[in-house]
Amino acid sequence: MGSGYFDSVSYSARAAARTATGTSLFTHSGLHESMDVRTKLNRESRDNADSPLSFPIAVMFDVTGSMRDIPNYLQKELGKLMGFVLKENVVANPQLCFGAVGDAFCDSAPLQMGEFEADDSLVEKCLSQIYLEGGGGGTHEESYDLALYFFARHVVTDAWEKRGTKGALFLIGDENYYKSVSRDAVKQWLGEDIGQDISTALIAEELQRRWNVFLIRPGGTYHFDDKSIEQSWKELLPAQHVIRAAEREQIVPQLAMTIGALAGRAVTDSAAALKKHGFDAGRVASAASALGKIAPGTLAPVAASALVATESGSKAVRL
């Protein structure tokens, strides 16, 4: 996994064609076998000839209730996001992973996990396999804890193992997390026996040693204005990593600007570049305002000339 390159022009053309014809990327019904971690428990982001400096970016969607339409916003503008990341040399060799969360106690697909991919067609295929279940348990909690547990215990990246660089994990959701990772839920949905429940706070602490973890709270959802939920997340993650996106269309520029901040780019520079790559100026401004004080320099910006000199490596940045 992770070979090839992301052609942002081709991806955007396919997304535009779907929009023009009213065709949805998300047509899968039920938990797709490739997204079921019980059939393959671990995920990896590895260096290869095309991605010698692989950097993992993972996005986990809450697909319950009012959140189930959010993936559509990302798939429409993912080409522009990757155009920014690659053409502006924000990250040398991004590898993208998409997945989804629901409720482990009442949904049929509470944890969906794709692979880390660099090729645009494979990224698109992974996105298309997400099951937009809806559902949810009505308790104001979803199984984000399962996703945190999975990334803490079952995802390995060369970015961290070889270079000590934290990956970027984005959760997009409006509800609270369960306070404990349930032994029963892990057994049912991961096929693993962990012996006893584990505090979600402990898992989040373990995870953040190797990942920069963010929660983006989209506007227009049931619990966007619930201050108690927002405060709960700020107790689990650094407060500046809990980001409000007043409009759903702000989510993708928010992802881009946050990745830019991690790479040490000034917010003003990222904002100018995003507008150049076709993002709405008002939503870019909103994303910049919501960003907060994300610690800069977590990633080392990589100049185009420093990527790789080999023919195979040059494909990793072909646009």
pLDDT at 148 over 90: yes
Assess whether pLDDT exceeds 60 at residue 154.
yes
How many domains in the chain? 1
Measure the CA–CA gap between 169 and 179, rounded to whole angstroms: 19
Tokens linked to 59: 């996005």
Best CA proximity match to 108, nearest among 34, 42, 1, 36: 36
- Does some domain include residue 45? yes
Location of structure tokens 């053409």: 87
How would you classify residue 51: left for phi > 0, otherwise alpha for psi between -120 and 50, otherwise beta?
beta
pLDDT band per the 50, 70, 90 thresholds, residue 310: very low
- Identify whether 2 is part of a domain: no
**Which distant-in-sequence residues (6+ apart) come within 8 Å of 31 by Cβ?**
108, 109, 112, 131
Q: In the chain, what is the greatest distance between 2 CA atoms, to the nearest angstrom?
A: 54
Looking at residue 28, its pLDDT comes to: 76
Arithmetic mean of pLDDT, 14-23: 86
State the average pLDDT over residues 100-112: 92
pLDDT at 168 > cutoff 60: yes
Per-residue pLDDT band for 29 (boundaries 50, 70, 90) equals confident
3 located within any domain: no
Q: Where does the pLDDT of residue 136 fall: very low under 50, low under 70, confident under 90, or very high at 90 and above?
A: low
The per-residue pLDDT for 37 is 96
Q: How large a percentage of the chain has pLDDT more than 70?
A: 89
Q: Are 131 and 31 in contact (CB under 8 A)?
A: yes
168 located within any domain: yes
In-domain check, residue 205:
yes
Query: What's the chain's average pLDDT?
Result: 87
Confidence (pLDDT) at 308: 35
Of 217, 281, 18, nearest to 128 by C-alpha is 18
Q: How many residues does the chain have?
A: 319
Pair of tokens at residue 85: 């990341």
Between CA 101 and CA 111 the distance in angstroms is: 5
Supply the CATH number for residue 234's domain: 3.40.50.410
Q: Looking at the domain assignment, is residue 202 inside a domain?
A: yes
Tell me: pLDDT of 137 over 50. yes
CA–CA gap between residue 259 and residue 282 (Å, rounded) = 19
Q: Given pLDDT bands bounded at 50, 70 and 90, which one contains residue 309?
A: very low
Look at residue 1 and tell me if it is in a domain: no
Q: Please, which pLDDT band fits residue 315 given cuts at 50, 70 and 90?
A: very low
pLDDT digits over 212-263, tens only? 999 999 887 667 768 899 999 999 999 999 999 888 889 999 999 999 999 9
Contact between 107 and 136 under an 8 Å Cβ cutoff? The reply is: yes
What residue has token string 């494909």? 315
Which range has highest mean pLDDT (78-92, 115-129, 152-166)? 152-166
Strand stretches in the chain, DSSP E: 43-45, 54-62, 93-101, 111-113, 141-142, 155-157, 167-172, 176-177, 180-181, 198-199, 211-218, 242-245
Residue 263 lies in a domain: yes
- Of 213, 230, 242, 240, nearest in space to 176 by CA: 230
Tell me: pLDDT of 22 over 90.
Answer: no
* pTM (predicted TM-score): 0.90
**In sequence order, what are the beta bridge partners of 211?**
167
Domain of 117, in residue numbers: 8-317
Q: Over the stretch 54-78, which tens digit does the pLDDT of each residue have?
A: 999 999 998 887 777 888 888 888 8
Q: What is the mean pLDDT of residues 24-32?
A: 82
In whole angstroms, give the CA distance from residue 247 to residue 197. 36
